[in-house]
Structures are given as C-alpha cells and as structure tokens.
A and B are shown apart, each in its own frame.
Chain A
Amino acid sequence: MSRISRIGASILWVIVFVPASLLLSGCDTSDATDDQVTLSLSFLHFVSGEALHNSVGEGLAFNDFRFANAAGNQYEITHMEYIVTEVALVTAQGERVLLTDAHYVNLTQPETLSSPLFTVPFDDYVGISLTFGVAGEENVFGSLPRTTSYEGMLWPAMMGGGTERYHYMRLEGNFVVEEGTRGFLVHTGPTGGTDFSIPFTAPLEIDDSARAPDAFVTINLSMDVNTWFDGPEVYDFQTVEGGIMGNPQAQERLHANGSSMYIVDSSYGIFD
C-alpha cells in the first residue's frame, strides 16, 4: 500500500470511526475509565443546623421568621444567591485541577444547587479550593458568562471603585423589631473596588472506590447561614441598618466570619 493511499485510508477512518465512537460513548452516563473520576458539587444550606432545603432544592424555608442568630435577631430569609469561582481539586503535590471557572447558586432555582458532572484524572487529592465571590481584578463586568443570572449580580461602578463589577452574595430578609419588621441586606462584594472575596480550602480525599467506571462522587458543600453572623465578630442587623455596599467595616466583618463558610464532605454512588 502506497504511503498516500495509507493516508487516504486513515482519513476515512478518522472521518467515519471517530465520530461514530464519539456518538456511542456519548450515550454512556459516564465516560470515566479507571484512571478517572466523575464528580459533581452539591450546595446545601442550613441555619443553626436546620436544613433550608433538601438536596434537590425542595422544601425551601424562606419567608418564615423562625431563625435567630447570635445577636438575637429573629429573622426570615427572602432571597439568597451567590457566586463561587475557580473551583478546583488540590493534589498532594499542591497542583490545582480546575473543575469550573464559575458557578452561580440561587436557592429558589434548584438546578443551580448542583454542578454539572466533571471528569478528572484519578489522583492523590487532598483538598478542594474555591473563591467565594470573584477575586481582585477578575471582578469586572463581562468576566463571567453573560447570562441573566450573573448579570443580575452586577455591582454598580460608583460603589466598585469606578468599574462595574459583580456582587459575591445577595442574602436578604427581614427581622423582627418592636414596630414590626425591618429588612437586612447582606450584599457582599468589592466595596470601593477593594477585594473582599474569600479564598477557601478544605481537606478532601477521593478514595479508590471512585475509580470504578460507573462510580461517581458527590462533593457536598454545606453552608450554615449563621456562619456569616455568629462570630468571631457578631453581626447584628440592628446596628447595620440598610445596605452595606458602601460599608467596608461590615464587609470586613463578614469576610472574617465567612472564612470557613463550607463544611465539605463527599458521598459515593453508582450510575444506574
């Protein structure tokens, strides 16, 4: 067979078999081999240990004044959405394996409470890392996907040091006062252009059973809303009236309180 006819034949192979095998493999629920791990993130939220919703987002406990924080504010939650970026697994060698550039969470949109499936090489993972919010100069209009969800998080230029940026989190609700109720608006973000995003890491191991081709791992990121309020610096809705987008002290306090905003664990499953 001449060299050229061999090229012709291999082109044929590429054109016919590669797409065909891609098509076939696409039908599998998981493409993982035993060198790979399939995993997804699950975002869970609690208040003082009580679940705000179940793992698929049902039973949302919004609009109910049944919560209290360390400052003694009795409150309800009406709105909660936030952004995490640069979500990665960390290997024993300190290498980062990126899972996603950005993920948007909104408690009233159950589909945002879990990530898509990721396939990563099996490795000696020791942790997970992410940024709560968007770090530094990455935080400028247009750096996140141009969906209505991310765009709803825009932070006006006037309060962002002259550049339009994104909120990290909008956590809103009302709390009980003598005359009735008052709103609290926990809007974390780049006040005055300062970077208040929170780098987060937690230990996480992925054990051998995840290598089975039909296995998957769910990484649970559990946040207790009162983490933001209860300490080390007590956050009292009474003393922080109204918005905090122009209030660096409030941002600093939330930044300190939120430094370990998630408890991380994992669970293992098998695709049907």
Chain B
Amino acid sequence: MCFSRIPWFRGYLGVVLLLMLIISGCDSAMKDGPTPVDLRTPDRFPLMTFPADNPLTEEGIALGERLFFDPLLSINGEVSCASCHEPRHAFSDPRPVSIGAEGRRGRRNAMPIFNLGWAPSLFWDGRSPSLEEQAIHPVENITEMGEDWPRVLEKLQNHPTYPGLFEAAFETETITRDQVTKALAQFERTLISSNARIDDFLNGEGNLTAVEQRGFDLFFSERGDCFHCHGTRLFTDNLFHNNGLEAVPSDSGRALITGNPAHAGMFRTPSLRNVEFTAPYMHDGRFATLEAVIEHYSTGVQATNNLDPLLNHGQRGNFTAEEKEGLVAFLKTLSDPAFAQPR
C-alpha cells in the first residue's frame, strides 16, 4: 500500500498504538513483579553504584531483613547475622572477637554494617568483592553459622512462609543460594547512616562545642591527619593501610589475599561513623575505648616495614591532653543514635 493513501491520522495512530504497547508492556511487568525501590542517598555523599543484576525491590529488602535476623541460617538454629552484627551497636559486635554457632571463636572483630553500598570490597582484608558474594561466607564459616547451603535452602523451601516471600521477591518457586544472598545484600544496601551531628555541622545547620571543634580542627589538619584515611562523608577511604599496631603483624591482613609481603598488617580503613557504638576497636578488638585508640595514634604507632607514610613522620602525634579530649569529643559527633537502635 502506498504511504500517500493512508490518512495522516492513521499513520499517527499506528505510532501511538506502538508506543502504548511498549508502555503497557513495562506497566504490566511492574504490576506483577516486585516493586522497584529508588534508594535516596544523602546529598553530600558520593554516588552509590548498584549491581545491574540485583536491583532493589520492596519485597527483596523485606526478605533480606527477615533473613538477617533469622537463626534458621545456622547449624543449631541459634545464631543469626544479627547475633554478631547487633543493630544497637551499629550492626557490630561488642565482643573483641565473635563467637559463632556451638561456641566457636573467630579471630577478628565483627565489623559494623552500614554505608557498605559504597565499599568496593568487604572484610578487613578486602577478600570479598560484593555484598552478594560476602553473604555466602558467614553461613558456611565454621566459626560463624557453621551450616551448609543445601541444608539452608531445604529449611527455607520447607518453611511455611519463606517460599511465598521468595516468590514475591524473585518470581520463582525454587529458592536458590543466589536469591538468599541477593536479598541479604539488598537489605544491607539500605542500611545508610547519615544523620549525625557532624552532618548538620557540615551542612551549615548546626554547631560544635569548643572541645569538639578542637578535635575537628586536629582531625582535618596534617598534624592530626586522620582525614586522609578516614575521609569523605563516609569517614573512610575504604583502602588498605598499616596503621602501626604491631612491629611484626600477628595477622597478615591484606597480604593473605594479595600474596604481597608489602601488604602485611594492612587492613581496610573502617568508617568512623557511629564509632561511639562499635567498641572494641581495630581488626582484633584490641582497644576497649576511644581514649585508647587516640593514645595509639598519639604515641603508640609502631615502626614497621610498611607503616603508612601518613603515620611515618615527626610532624604528627604527641597530642596534648586537650587535643586528645577534643578528638574523642569530635568522634562522638559522628554518632547517629537513631540508626544504632535495637530492631
């Protein structure tokens, strides 16, 4: 048929119909499937990147939250993720090293869980590349949940409510390990802490006391020099450093992963947000108080082969009593009490 014989509106109609088809195609997919969530990240934070194969959905996040608190994932039904990542401690563990199912002790302090959507790698030594991959490990780690995945999946599949929840989140009847870890990762991505007094201050909406300001000034100076590692609005660079805890590291840290001896005793810089709630401190929980941590940076840094240059010079450290008091007070302005709540 010749184009010129079609009345113009019919040509138009075809296009409109085509468009409607495309749009309704998206529409019906949205109605049946899980509900997408557009995560709002804080304005002053850097951009967060999301994995393309695990978009956030209401159903996925809710399922992840339920799994996080469920001891069903452990061998004896007694340990959940939250046993070592307690919400009121900003999802960290108040014990120096964690104790897993059947009383087995780990060798590192459990890290807090928040703002991890910005972390390019996970664990103290960065051995895991994503939240999805990370979530595989606690379940089968003998010092954590000590279970094996086929049994976890069987328990979930035979559970009265889980199959329906997985179907709502992932639109399949068979529950897989991939879905469990995706749901956990979705929930963890929503754990964002950004409402501390320091945020009001940096946004020009609040004040610091004179003591806190003294700590702030030192933290962001080259003599204190905390900000080069604990920087950005995340208060971490998420990179690996040796901060001089031991002359000869008893835990090789990053070197265990890279195989490079120059990386011995390097650990991923922790965020200092909520640090008031995450004692004890460092990868081995060696310091019980913030005062002890500040004393380390003041006079305790050990000379070691690969001590970070930022800590390896005479212009820093040896803080006065007022400066130490200021640093501790400043660190407490990074607390987000509404985040560190029992759930």
Contacts and interface: CB of A to CB of B under 8 A. Distances in A.
A148 B308 contact: no
B311 A8 contact: no
A242 B316 contact: yes
A178 to B, nearest CB: 13
A63 B262 contact: yes
B3 A181 contact: no
B221 A158 contact: yes
Interface stretch (B4-12, B67-75, B121-129): B4-12
B157 interface: no
A142 B7 CA distance: 53
Interface in B211-251: 217, 220-223, 225, 227-228, 231-234, 237-238
A24 interface: no
Given A8-B8, A243-B315, A151 B220 contact: no
B39 to A, nearest CB: 15
Contacts of A64: 262
Interface string A153-175: 01011110000000000101110
A9 interface: yes
A148 B238 contact: yes
Nearest to B222: A243
B161 interface: no
B220 A156 contact: yes
A62 interface: yes
A30 to B, nearest CB: 25
A5 B7 contact: yes
B314 to A, nearest CB: 6
Interface in B176-228: 217, 220-223, 225, 227-228
Contacts of B311: 183
B162 interface: no
Given A7-B8, A63-B262, A148-B46, A1 B221 contact: no
A172 B232 contact: no
Given A148-B46, A185-B310, A158 B15 contact: no
A172 B228 CA distance: 11
B8 A2 contact: yes
Nearest to B309: A183
Given A5-B7, A62-B262, A183-B308, A11 B217 contact: no
A7 B11 CA distance: 10
A207 to B, nearest CB: 39
B47 A146 contact: yes
B71 to A, nearest CB: 35
Given A15-B15, A148-B118, A172 B47 contact: no
Interface in A123-172: 145-148, 150-152, 154, 156-159, 170, 172
Contacts of B232: 148, 151-152, 154
Interface in B1-48: 3-4, 6-9, 11-12, 14-15, 18, 46-47
B4, B11, B14, B315: which has the most chain A beta carbons within 10 Å? B11
B136 interface: no
Interface range on chain A: under 10, 10 to 19, 20 to 34, or 35 or more? 35 or more
Interface string B270-308: 000000000000000000000000000000000100111
A181 B312 contact: yes
A147 B310 contact: no
Interface of B is mostly: loop
Interface in A175-191: 180-185
Given A154-B232, A156-B220, A241-B313, A78 B238 contact: no
Contact of A246 (B6, B222, B237, B313): B222
B312 A5 contact: no
Interface string A255-267: 0000000000000
Contacts of B6: 5, 8
A183 B310 contact: yes
A191 B220 CA distance: 14
A246 B222 CA distance: 8
B313 A151 contact: no
Contact of B313 (A9, A154, A185, A245): A185
B3 A9 contact: yes
A174 B15 contact: no
A245 B308 CA distance: 18
Contacts of B303: 180
Nearest to A148: B46
A4 B8 contact: yes
B58 to A, nearest CB: 26
B308 A78 contact: yes
Given A1-B4, A156-B227, 16 more contacts: A2-B8, A5-B8, A5-B11, A8-B9, A9-B8, A11-B12, A145-B47, A148-B118, A150-B46, A151-B232, A152-B231, A154-B232, A174-B307, A242-B222, A243-B315, A246-B222
23 contacts: A1-B4, A5-B3, A5-B6, A5-B8, A11-B15, A63-B260, A78-B308, A147-B47, A148-B238, A151-B233, A152-B231, A158-B217, A158-B220, A159-B220, A159-B221, A172-B309, A174-B307, A180-B303, A182-B312, A183-B310, A184-B309, A185-B309, A241-B315
- Which 5 interchain pairs have the tightest Cβ spacing? A183-B309, A242-B315, A243-B222, A63-B262, A183-B312
